[in-house]
Amino acid sequence: MASLFVIQGADQGKRFEFQTTTVALGRDNSNAIRLHDTEVSRRHAELRQDEDSYRLIDLGSANGTYVNGQLVSQAPLHSGDRLQLGSTILLYHEGATRPARDLTARVDLLARSSPEDRSAILKSIPSGEGSRVLRQPEAAAGWLKERLASLSVMYRATQAISHVLEIDALLPQILELVFESINADRGAILLKDEAGQLEPKAVRLTNPDGPDERMTISKTIVDYVLEQGQGVITTDAPADKRFSPAQSIVDYHIREAICVPIQGRHTTLGVLYADIQSGAMVLANGGKDGPRGKFSQDHLMLMVAIGHQAGLAIENTAFYNAKIQAERLAAVGQTIATLSHHIKNILQGIRGGSYLIDMGLNDKDEAIVRRGWTIVEKNQTKIYNLVMDMLSFSKDREPALEPADLNEVVTDVAELMHSRAEELGVKLVTRPCAGMPRVMIDPEGIHRALLNIVTNAIDASEGQPEATVTISTEWVAEMTTARIRVADNGVGIDEADVASIFQIFASSKGSRGTGLGLPVSRKIVAEHGGNITVQSQPGQGATFVIDLPMARKAGPSEMTDGLTMMG
């Protein structure tokens, strides 16, 4: 299945998948791929299947259709191509391609005892030695030292920028590499903005704390590099026939400069510039060949390579950030949709209760008013619990530990849930540990975690014969651990479903549940350095065990799943 991923424009982050023979793109809602871009025509272009791939056809659009920066009326597409319609840029991906011919069956591994194995080891080198030589080429000797010099720079370039995921942090790394490689006095990276205009994004000076120095870059040089796609060394501009005398850079007091394109996969993203402000110039061949400066052809080739490496890194960083943004938008959309569903159900309950209250007041029937108020009150509790769960889950927090009576926390939860248990025909039993010492916990946090688990246990036991939920505490002295056990004889949990019950928004209670309760409980317990284990079999109830070690093992930043399934 082919796809288009929007990396720039009003629909940034959206992915459109398709497998039909013809796919229309445009601003009108009749298009299979609708773009909310005012610069896109109503019916802008079409994708037409061409054997195993697609061909892009412009439909006479007002602003044209571009593939990899080139204006096209039609063009075949390949995975990785960039499509531009108006101000929207999309990345084309072909999906699964025809598999290459499998030649792995032609490889034979000879046994050590095989008479056909005549191999003999002549020399060996540790695997880490290769990277050491690349980091320190001066350690090599002879011809190898010379050949490793530039390769070492590219190796360090890859190491320096491959792990950087923010463009603002990436660009200074590139300039640092330039300064190390060619000993420049000043350097700058200029990238194209959305309008295609160059904008300085990073600057480095040898003495940044000196006077307020202005860095003036010749637009003549920059335009030539962008238009021709070539890196240049400039010395005395009148001696360079590519530039007219009127475009001389001598007035800027630059003796030597290197400017190279920052080249991505398909487009030029900007330029990488470095210069030396002063230094003696040597006339080559008596002055006939012009001045010979500090920058050589090798420096230029190295800078071109760094520019291309930088372009790939910038593109990868932009793609990664676009992907993260798309995932965040998808998560926000899922969260809003799920919460909207639960809030709608709660509001419907409040509306129903309000209707009964209004009817009871009009008829002066206190019984109807009380029935309506009971419904409103229940839904107010639902709103409170939903908001508190959202607050608990929204950020990591250090529990406010204090010496507390765990039995008292359990008793408070039982008293709070007693009326609900009675209403559903469930017997609620508490069995506090007589020898439980005072423990260091966050009483409010543990109260909330336990409340969610007990609520689920009561709901799961509703309608069962002799439905019972038992809350007990235990002090495990050999583990210095306080334990809370919540056991019910409800419907139980399938083994395959145990992992999912702690996932956010996963609820088996339909409109009655938000899918936040158990994830919040797990999070609070994990913040205490504890964990929750589940013992359950379908039809035989479930037991949730909360272990709270008094020697804390982890904070919020080290929080693990804290979930174990026991038979």
What DSSP letter does each residue of 118-160 carry, written as one string? ---------HHHHHHHHH-GGGS-HHHHHHHHHHHHHHHHHHH
pLDDT tens, residue order, the chain (567 aa): 788 888 788 887 788 888 888 999 999 989 999 998 889 999 999 999 887 789 999 999 999 999 988 899 999 998 888 899 998 888 888 865 445 566 667 666 666 666 765 655 555 545 444 445 445 555 555 554 555 555 666 666 666 556 556 777 778 888 887 887 778 888 899 998 878 888 898 888 877 666 666 777 888 888 888 888 888 887 644 445 555 544 444 344 446 888 899 888 777 889 999 887 654 444 344 444 444 447 777 778 888 888 888 888 888 777 777 777 777 677 666 666 656 655 766 677 788 788 888 888 988 888 888 888 888 887 787 677 667 766 666 666 778 889 999 999 999 888 888 888 888 899 999 999 998 999 999 888 888 889 889 988 998 888 888 999 999 999 998 889 999 999 999 888 877 667 667 666 555 554 444 556 788 888 888 888 899 988 887 888 899 999 999 865 444 333 333 333 334
Distance CA 454, CA 470 (A): 9
Distance CA 12, CA 4 (A): 11
Residue the block writes with tokens 């998948």: 17
pLDDT at 558: 37
pLDDT at 57: 94
pLDDT at 227: 86
Residue the block writes with tokens 């299947």: 49
Residue 68: which region, alpha, beta or left (left: phi > 0; alpha: psi -120 to 50)?
left
Strands (E), 178-220: 186-192, 198-205
Other CB atoms closer than 10 Å to residue 485's CB: what's the count? 17
Other CB atoms closer than 10 Å to residue 305's CB: what's the count? 18
Look up the pTM and report it.
Answer: 0.41
Tell me the backbone φ, ψ of residue 355, rounded to 5 degrees: -65, -45
Strands (E), 420-480: 427-431, 439-441, 468-476
**Coil, strand, or helix at residue 245?**
helix
Residue the block writes with tokens 């799920």: 338
Distance CA 511, CA 152 (A): 62
Tell me the backbone φ, ψ of residue 132, rounded to 5 degrees: -65, -40
Q: How far apart are the first and last CA of the chain?
A: 42
On whether the CB atoms of residues 233 and 300 are closer than 8 A, the answer is: yes
Q: What share of the chain is helix, strand, coil (3-state, %, to 5)?
A: 40, 25, 35
pLDDT at 540: 83
Give the residue from 497, 429, 493 showing the smallest Cα distance to 456: 493
pLDDT at 1: 79
pLDDT at 547: 93
pLDDT at 101: 62
